[in-house]
Structure 1
Amino acid sequence: MSQATIEDAPPRTGVRVRVQKLGTALSNMVMPNIGAFIAWGLITALFIEQGWLQGIFAELKNPDGWVAKIGGWGAYDGAGIVGPMITYLLPVLIGYTGGRMVHGNRGAVVGAIATMGVVTGADVPMFLGAMIMGPLGGWCMKKLDALWEGKIRPGFEMLVDNFSAGILGLILAVFGFFGIGPIVSSFTRAAGNAVDFLVENDLLPLTSILIEPAKVLFLNNAINHGVLTPLGTTQALETGKSILFLLEANPGPGLGLLLAYMAFGRGLARASAPGAAIIQFFGGIHEIYFPYVLMKPKLIVATILGGMTGVFINVLFGSGLRAPAAPGSIIAVYAQTASGSFLGVTLSVFGSAAVSFAVAALLLKTDRATDESDLAAATAEMESLKGKKSSVAGALVATSTGPIRSIVFACDAGMGSSAMGASVLRRKIQQAGFGDVKVTNSAISNLSDTYDLVISHRDLTARARQRTGSAVHVSVDDFMGSPRYDEIVERLKQTNTGGGDGAPAAVEEPAEAPADDVLPLSSIVLDGAATTAADAITEAGRLLVTAGAVEPAYIDAMHQRESSISTYMGNGLAIPHGTNEAKDTIRRTGLSFVRYAEPIDWNGKPAEFVVGIAGAGKDHMALLTKIAQVFLKADDVARLREATTTEEVKAILMAADK
């Protein structure tokens, strides 16, 4: 395939990434409140009419005293606690969390108010409504605050803030009551009817055909927290339990797969399977077995058939959980198992494990291909699908081998973020004694599949992988101080021979260009006027235009670059720059520096210093390396913060140790 063909090819994971982001957003609203769901499940288990303690209460002769009062907790009407918790508390917590994700505490308050409107306007628990109204409330509050940011007279800020939040909350609550509530209620009833149809026609096991592959592709959050948890909670409210909580959380299919690898796997996969099985079954971290499926995709058949077996047994026995089991550990599953369902749940877990084991064992035993060198690549692919480093998958590849000789930082334009990251890691690696490891940076469009290790922002890893499929990929969020850098150095100590045990190698830096040409004093501003990230980008870009480094159109490219991925580097530094396609608007290499007395909200991170970048070639790399070293030292950052002249700022930046 030619390079042009690769560049023109549409992203292969666009739809999946969007669905995954939706699932992540839904999960981020639900997961912080899982404790409340567990509390509701336990209260339900104890105090409803069929609950564990009702038999005890029924035998005590105290109908008007404290016994009757405690027993009343199980009532689903206003007199009890079960009904109000599921009707009001749980949806409002979700709405509050969703609003806070978008716009902090003010967004959280408005999101909670908006959620109350949709809760009272519906006749079913409004989890889906809360997932809509919470983020919507936060988004509206964020946009409203931006309208008069910096325009309110001193002394009137609290008045405006409080009344704007209250009025907006009123409007959204009414909108939720009359608009969103009825729509979500209709959807919930339709989805519930669809589930009833599947159950009545013995078709519910077929859902595993969708759920098991979705788990491996990290789309399970969209299904689990977007559909199954709301529907399951509604069902549990009516019947005291729901089978839907077990469709995704059953640890049996993953356990069976890993047991098969223990018996019939090869190499690193077989050696790591026992530890992965313990983490998956008891810890409930299902993602630990995903690389084993990605390594041999045909094994998805084993997990599908195992999942179908578990669902069939639960349908047969009428078993279910009272609340979500999160994480999907056997411990969490048993903690939420409804009374009378322990036999069915137990058989479903171990039955699904047995079927998954049998199918996976057959496939592995008849497979002649070796998997000894594939687990590391499969784990990297899993982390790419997830969008961030797995906290447990490192255990799978800790003993992987193969020297690393070339590392590349890849970003959209190859002139700013990647250059900063490369300079930081280059120094770490060479000071550790690995002078033979080459660290460079590049635009993703210029990558070739010749590197051993590729580092990119987590939002760009999927694109980088399309061009460098044979490399190990590392995703980072913070280019300046990512903990992944130290992990890479440790990995070099394990995989590279003849390095890392001697004196630190000399740090090779790019050729240095005259600072007066790249960063003139006229491009340094000590008191920036911008109050938003967008205005700060424009301010830094105009300095580049004034200096004659770029054409005015380059500023638009800087905004376009920021809309695709944040240029916040960490330690209070942001480095906005244009896209790779805008390089023809760069007249010469140039930098600008703007300091802000009040940190600017840069995609949720505080930016005190903004460095605008326009790189025509490599002549700005040496100066970027100096700037990176400055911002790695708290003392130097403090000196920049206290500097009173442009000459002093420039001297600090130029004096960074090599």
Structure 2
Amino acid sequence: MIMPNIPALIAWGIFTAFFIDVGWTPVAALSTIVGPMIHYLLPILIAYTGGHIVYQVRGGVVAAIATFGVIAGSDYLIAQYNLTQPADNQLGQIHMFIGAMIMAPIAGYSMKWLDKLWENKIKAGFEMLVNMFSAGIWGFALAILGFYPIAWLVNGLMNILSAAVNWLVSAHLLPLTSILIEPAKVFFLNNAVNHGVLTPLGLEQATGPAHKSILFLLEANPGPGVGLLLAFTIFGIGAAKASAPGAAVIQFIGGIHEVYFPFALMKPTLIIALILGGMTGVTTNVIFNTGLRAPAAPGSIIAVIAQTYQTDYLGVILSVILSAAVTFIVAAIILRASRKKDLAAEAAGSDAFSSAISQTEANKGKSSEALAGLRGSAAGAAAGATDVAERTVNSIVFACDAGMGSSAMGASVLRNKIKKAGIDGVTVVNKAIANLDGSADLVITQNQLTERAKAQAPDAVHVSVDNFMNSPKYDEVVDLVRSQHQDGQ
């Protein structure tokens, strides 16, 4: 629900960076966009996306209606509370990100279930009438549900979480959050932690007088991840050492943190290095009182710098550097201490890195938006090789659920191989499965997504793979494409 709407968060961050009263170029008129955008547009976009995932446009529309009820209910509850409080103790708005994430699946699944009750039972000519009124009436009912119990629940939850964060800040214990956040990231709870908890809380702070929040940096700091990958680059062995440099670039510049998860999982003691690095970064930001204007998504150093509050560049950059350095040093010590044992295990045929990739995929689960790590779409499978040979391939599409992390990495790897092979005229791009439009000659997907891709692009050749970074099928695909293009010259 969150990932497809990151562009809207980025746009909101740009508006705040330039046009609010403490922005780079304050413009009072344009600054009026900031409040409605974060309070109404973004939660409703999230709700529509979630409802659409469950039940296409119909689910999205009902989810948006229901979420507006939650927003209005939250505002009403806060207004009633503020009437009982003095002017210097007024509550601000709570932005219903969590409310949208609750209501969207409720609305989508319930509308889908209701439609099945009268499926094939409507007299001809009345279908549109029933469809429109049923969705409208059910949206109305869910908006009432959102206005009362859901708004009360979410407001209470946000107040509890805000109080907990404020206590951690006042007690100077915020760095201890890394003890929970860094392991949670490795076990693929990064988006749940960041967008489910830290982003809503951070937005509450960023829309307040400070116009920034340190919470946006607790999970998004790319320092610990790149420190771990650099340690593997120098002190690692085998496939992990070979994969680490490219993964470091993807993680640090591209912001795809999941590429370092298998490296930590193959040697769980390395999570200690990540925790210590994360704590170093948080401590640095606490000391310098630094923060971001808006979420840094994806967690790229570019996104972090772009969202840094204008007076906080020194502290934020130092937090990234120092967290990377601490993680690197601790990880290097761990890797060096176990080097002989790791070399012996590799010589005996153990493939810890491949097993860690599999574990990362298992942690991700089928329902995840995208696996932006070392599993995902890849280029080539024996089952698809014959089909490729019988069809001239000029367009290759890597497709995954969201069309972002995993498919982008696969496309990049294959694109580089095709370029090195001197093959011209072949495009390699990445898309979400839902955006496949039939123009591709070859579609490459992860095994469990192939059937969905076939339904979306039935005329294309479909190739199913599972090993993203180290697939031996890359070279087979390159050879086939080279052969086709040489024969056509």
TM-score (norm 1): 0.54
Distance in 1 between residues matched to 2:382 and 2:13, nearest whole Å: 48
2:304 aligned with 1:333: yes
Distance in 2 between residues matched to 1:37 and 1:153, nearest whole Å: 45
Q: How does 1:37-52 map to 2 (within 5 A)?
A: 37-52=9-24
2:4 match: 32
1:91 match: 43
2:90 aligned with 1:112: no
2:206 aligned with 1:236: yes
Distance in 1 between residues matched to 2:108 and 2:474, nearest whole Å: 46
Go from structure 1 to structure 2 and tell me whether the alpha carbon gap of 1:224 and 1:490 turns closer, same or farther (over 3 Å shift).
Answer: closer
Shift, 1:257, TM fit? 0.8
Q: 2:287 aligns with which of 306, 310, 316?
A: 316
Shift, 1:490, TM fit? 6.8
Q: Is the 8 A contact 2:384 2:464 kept in 1?
A: no
Distance in 2 between residues matched to 1:486 and 1:49, nearest whole Å: 50
Q: 2:353 aligns with which of 375, 399, 420?
A: 375
Q: Deviations over 1:48-86 (max 9, x none)?
A: 1211113xxxxxxxxxxxxxxx42332xxxxx1111111
Q: How does 1:260-279 map to 2 (within 5 A)?
A: 260-279=231-250
Letter in 2 for 1:393: L
1:653 match: none
Letter in 2 for 1:49: D
Distance in 1 between residues matched to 2:355 and 2:160, nearest whole Å: 42
1:252 match: 223
2:436 match: none
Q: Is the 8 A contact 1:384 1:475 kept in 2?
A: no
> What secondary structure is seen at the aligned counterpart in 2 of 1:175?
helix
Distance in 1 between residues matched to 2:473 and 2:109, nearest whole Å: 44
Shift, 1:426, TM fit? 7.1
1:149 match: 119
> What secondary structure is seen at the aligned counterpart in 2 of 1:150?
coil
Q: Is the 8 A contact 1:310 1:351 kept in 2?
A: yes
Q: Is the 8 A contact 1:425 1:485 kept in 2?
A: no
Q: 2:175 aligns with which of 193, 202, 205?
A: 205
Q: 2:374 aligns with which of 386, 393, 408?
A: 393
For structure 1, the 5+ residue unaligned runs are: 1-28, 55-69, 75-79, 399-423, 433-473, 501-658
Shift, 1:384, TM fit? 2.6
1:53 match: 25
Relative contact order higher in (CA < 8 Å, ≥ 6 apart): 2
Q: 2:449 aligns with which of 474, 477, 487?
A: 477
2:335 aligned with 1:364: yes
> What secondary structure is seen at the aligned counterpart in 1 of 2:269?
helix
2:140 aligned with 1:162: no
Distance in 2 between residues matched to 1:260 and 1:182, nearest whole Å: 47
2:270 match: 299
Distance in 2 between residues matched to 1:342 and 1:230, nearest whole Å: 23
2:178 aligned with 1:184: no
Letter in 1 for 2:284: I
Deviates more, 1:366-375 or 1:30-39: 366-375
2:74 match: 122
Shift, 1:273, TM fit? 1.8
Shift, 1:487, TM fit? 7.5
> What secondary structure is seen at the aligned counterpart in 2 of 1:149?
coil
Distance in 2 between residues matched to 1:345 and 1:267, nearest whole Å: 34
Letter in 1 for 2:293: R
Letter in 2 for 1:151: K
Q: Deviations over 1:247-283 (max 9, x none)?
A: 1111000111111122222233223221111111111
> What secondary structure is seen at the aligned counterpart in 1 of 2:188?
coil
Q: Is the 8 A contact 2:361 2:375 kept in 1?
A: no
Q: Which of structures 1 and 2 has the bigger CA Rg? A: 1
Go from structure 1 to structure 2 and tell me whether the alpha carbon gap of 1:183 and 1:342 turns closer, same or farther (over 3 Å shift).
Answer: same
Distance in 2 between residues matched to 1:248 and 1:391, nearest whole Å: 16
Q: Is the 8 A contact 1:476 1:482 kept in 2?
A: no
> What secondary structure is seen at the aligned counterpart in 1 of 2:297?
coil
> What secondary structure is seen at the aligned counterpart in 2 of 1:483?
strand
Distance in 2 between residues matched to 1:219 and 1:33, nearest whole Å: 19
Distance in 1 between residues matched to 2:473 and 2:67, nearest whole Å: 51
Number of residues of Structure 1 aligned to a counterpart in Structure 2: 381
Go from structure 1 to structure 2 and tell me whether the alpha carbon gap of 1:351 and 1:143 turns closer, same or farther (over 3 Å shift).
Answer: same
For structure 2, the 5+ residue unaligned runs are: 76-93, 390-445, 455-460, 481-489
> What secondary structure is seen at the aligned counterpart in 2 of 1:52?
coil
Q: Deviations over 1:366-403 (max 9, x none)?
A: 213225543222222222322369565269x99xxxxx
2:30 aligned with 1:73: yes
% identical aligned pairs: 57
2:307 aligned with 1:343: no
Shift, 1:486, TM fit? 9.8
Go from structure 1 to structure 2 and tell me whether the alpha carbon gap of 1:493 and 1:126 turns closer, same or farther (over 3 Å shift).
Answer: closer
Go from structure 1 to structure 2 and tell me whether the alpha carbon gap of 1:487 and 1:174 turns closer, same or farther (over 3 Å shift).
Answer: closer
Q: Is the 8 A contact 2:226 2:324 kept in 1?
A: yes
Go from structure 1 to structure 2 and tell me whether the alpha carbon gap of 1:208 and 1:48 turns closer, same or farther (over 3 Å shift).
Answer: same
TM-score (norm 2): 0.72
Go from structure 1 to structure 2 and tell me whether the alpha carbon gap of 1:247 and 1:486 turns closer, same or farther (over 3 Å shift).
Answer: closer
2:472 aligned with 1:491: yes
Letter in 2 for 1:491: P
Q: Is the 8 A contact 2:358 2:375 kept in 1?
A: no
Distance in 1 between residues matched to 2:130 and 2:314, nearest whole Å: 59
2:352 aligned with 1:352: no
Q: Is the 8 A contact 1:310 1:348 kept in 2?
A: yes
Q: Is the 8 A contact 2:16 2:23 kept in 1?
A: yes
Distance in 2 between residues matched to 1:246 and 1:486, nearest whole Å: 32
Letter in 2 for 1:358: I
> 1 or 2, which has the higher helix percentage?
2
